[in-house]
Structure 1
Amino acid sequence: MMIEQSKSKRMEIKQNMRGGKGDIEITHITNNEILGKNCRLFAQITVKPGDSIGEHQHINEREVFYFLQGKGIVIDNGKEAEIGPGDVMVTPDQSSHSVINTGDEDLVFMALILNENA
């Protein structure tokens, strides 16, 4: 059994992430050694009101978002959808997406990036 205490989590700020707007807060749930070869990222992401993550493509991987708090718009391969708590978005291999916080509170979600060819 392995337990990682909350104080051991690594947090980083990415400015204008992927061509988006604002400071995006990424709290890594665990490190890549623990995740293994099939998973590149497991993190909680916070997007402030009015901020965004710009459009980007995933090659040889898929990304899953689970939205915890706030509301916003996601654009996946040109298709726009409103999202909120409890919603899940899956961006498959060779697809692109972006996220915009359209609400008046933080948009918080879990992000999991899985390697397709591991």
Structure 2
Amino acid sequence: MSTVIIGHTDNAGEVLGVHGGSGVMYWTRVATGSHLHGDWDGVEWVAFDPGGRAGLHTHSHTEEIWYFLRGTGVIELDGVRHDVSPGSIVLTPLHSRHAAWNTGPERLEYVVIEVFPPDITKALPPRKPTDEHEDKVAI
């Protein structure tokens, strides 16, 4: 069985001062782990206008993969700063301390893929994205 999920970024939520940062973070979750068989927590789209930032924070239950689509920025990962631009990929391991901010003149946009590490996966029930039968069609 296959499933197609079509997400849109034009109805993103606005989060103010995320993790003690500044400005507005535009955020939308395109897919959750319940849409996939694997040990994924979710797929998200994130954006910051010029000068916006997410403050330093740590994840205790997921690791993240960030893929940059637009703009320029800086990522701080465990005390080291890295410049990012379209095509950059950042991996934030479990318990890493990280922050992101837009240093450029245009919106910084990226996709975040959150995955569970093995210890969390072991505690989860088996994944099954849907109970729909193949002959049902959603309209």
Higher RCO (CA-CA < 8 Å; seq separation 6+): 1
Please list every run of 5 or more consecutive structure 2 residues that lacks an aligned counterpart in the other structure.
122-139
What is the CA RMSD across the aligned residues, in angstroms? 2.0
Deviation for aligned residue 1:4: 2.4
TM-score, normalised by the number of residues in structure 1? 0.89
Q: Which has the higher strand share?
A: 1
The answer to whether the aligner puts 1:82 opposite 2:89 as a matched pair is no
Alignment of structure 1 residues 1-118 onto 2, 5 Å: 1-6=2-7, 11-35=12-36, 38-116=39-117, 117-118=120-121
Report how many residues are paired: 118
Question: Which amino acid letter does the alignment assign opposite residue 26 of structure 1?
Answer: W
- How far apart in 1 are the matches of 2:3 and 2:108? 30
Q: 1:37 to 1:15 in 2, by over 3 A?
A: farther
Q: 1:36 to 1:10 in 2, by over 3 A?
A: farther
Deviation for aligned residue 1:6: 3.8
- The equivalent residue for 2:128 is none
User: Equivalent residue of 2:35, what SS?
Assistant: helix
User: Equivalent residue of 2:12, what SS?
Assistant: strand
Deviation for aligned residue 1:2: 1.3
Deviations 1:80-111 (A, max 9, x none): 11110100000101111000100000000000
Q: Is contact 1:10-1:28 (8 Å) kept?
A: no
TM-score, normalised by the number of residues in structure 2? 0.77
Please list every run of 5 or more consecutive structure 1 residues that lacks an aligned counterpart in the other structure.
none
Q: Where does structure 1 differ by over 4 angstroms across 4 or more consecutive aligned residues?
A: none
Deviations 1:33-66 (A, max 9, x none): 2146722221110111000011100213211100
- How far apart in 2 are the matches of 1:37 and 1:25? 26
Q: 1:49 to 1:79 in 2, by over 3 A?
A: same
User: Equivalent residue of 2:5, what SS?
Assistant: coil
Segment of structure 1 superposing worse, 37-46 or 65-74 = 37-46
Q: 1:96 to 1:36 in 2, by over 3 A?
A: farther
